[in-house]
Structure 1
Amino acid sequence: MTAPRRVVIGEDDVLLREGIARVLALGGFEVVAEAGDADDLLRKGMAHRPDLLVADISMPPHRGDDGLVAAIDVRRQRPDTSVLVLSQFYEERYATELLADGAEGVGYLLKERVSNVDEFVDAAIRVAEGGSALDPEVIARMLGRRSKRKSIAALSPRELEVLAAMAEGKSNRGIAGDLVISLPAVEKHITRIFGKLGVDAVDTEHRRVHAVLTYLRER
């Protein structure tokens, strides 16, 4: 029998925190710890080694981006910990910081749009398993100002398969195994994907993230 996914929840609103805990527990997660401020979230995220850390971006003590900073700190020290952040509003700086190291095991959802319990649980499971869950509004805003981005319609069927696997958070080696192709072939496909989508090598932001965002937006 597979052990339940372990989750730590960071949210200063007690009722909301308990609601998230109950929903995730019913969804098959084991809630191993809850935190009401960023410092406690960091401590518990490190101590309990969860599969998933769910955090509000704005938390005490300063109610700025304390929750996000704590979540990113946990992830960088324990890369096997997936992170799903919740926010009252979209802030590109937050999304960019969260996605700086890639979209694998990362989620960014806007609280006002999390209205379906099943969809929230599905997003949490997907992120915990190494995939990504990005609010459509976040994707649209991150990509909307980049008119030079091109459509996935320009990709070949094989390139679409590779990009879909990237969107699931799979590594190049994982993609090669799933598609039964060589690692160099995967790397060549990804290079072509970047070129066809207009994700330049000199792009100052993460190319893989933007390719995945384009895929998620159009799918």
Structure 2
Amino acid sequence: MRVVIAEDDALLREGLVLLLGTEGIEVAAAADNAADFLAAVSAERPDAVVVDVRLPPSFTDEGLRAAVEARRLLPGLPVLVLSAYVEDSYATDLLSDGAGGVGYLLKERVGKVARFLDALHEVVGGGTVLDPEVVTQLMVRRHADDPIRTLTPRERDVLALMAEGRANAAIAAELVVSEPAVSKHIGNIFTKLGLPPNDIGHRRVLAVLAYLRA
């Protein structure tokens, strides 16, 4: 696997390079700004990118905008956002393009290296990995008429675990309920969010992201 990193913190950037190297993952380039990052993506055509949200010069959402542009340059490029902040300005575009292969983790909540590495492999495999806190913060920023607000507390619990990439069996074990009960909750979520069986795409991912489209 070859990756390109966009991270302005020199210590974290070099730490990621060393960490990935020890795991046999080649870092093709590591940039501290969006322009150099996009140039590296275009030149190196990596298997995945790891991007911080806030990059120079304004330290607002340059990283997210660069990630969206990188996916335009290389459609379907797996993107793992690793940031201290939840920004929704371009998160909608990044997460809801239907291509999969996207992750959004909060730095302070990645308690184990294995969690980060597992997330990277998950997005490279086309999966979606969202920190539950990212989901929560994005949810509370939506308007009151968002369909996500029609879910029951238990359905929200199920949805949060779906956002972590949990399978039905794992969700059932976490919530101490049966798998049929989980399947029923997921069916209710799909119905309330307007995701009928003939929807094109991965309905589990679409369910997590439906509120972003509202």
Q: Scaled by the length of structure 1, what TM-score is found?
A: 0.68
Look up the SS of the partner of 1:93 in the other structure.
coil
Residue in structure 2 matched with residue 149 of structure 1 by the alignment: 151
Select the residue among 7, 11, 15 that pairs with 2:7: 11
Query: Aligned Cα RMSD in Å?
Result: 3.0
Q: Can you give the 5+ residue segments of structure 1 that lack an aligned partner in the other structure?
A: 156-163, 169-191, 215-219
Select the residue among 191, 194, 198 that pairs with 1:200: 194
Give the C-alpha shift of residue 7 in structure 1: 0.3
Contact 1:200 1:207 in 2 (8 A): no
Q: 2:42 & 2:19 partners in 1: Cα distance?
A: 23
Select the residue among 43, 56, 59 that pairs with 1:60: 56
**Number of residue equivalences:** 172
Q: 2:107 & 2:90 partners in 1: Cα distance?
A: 15
Give the C-alpha shift of residue 39 in structure 1: 0.4
Q: 1:22 & 1:197 partners in 2: Cα distance?
A: 46
Q: Can you give the 5+ residue segments of structure 2 that lack an aligned partner in the other structure?
A: 143-147, 167-185, 196-200
Equivalent pairs: percent with the same residue? 46
Give the C-alpha shift of residue 111 in structure 1: 1.3
Select the residue among 25, 32, 39 that pairs with 1:36: 32
Q: 2:202 & 2:137 partners in 1: Cα distance?
A: 16
Q: Scaled by the length of structure 2, what TM-score is found?
A: 0.69
Contact 1:75 1:81 in 2 (8 A): yes
Amino acid at match of 2:2: R
Q: 1:207 & 1:141 partners in 2: Cα distance?
A: 23
Give the C-alpha shift of residue 152 in structure 1: 5.7
Q: 2:133 & 2:189 partners in 1: Cα distance?
A: 25
Q: 1:101 & 1:37 partners in 2: Cα distance?
A: 24
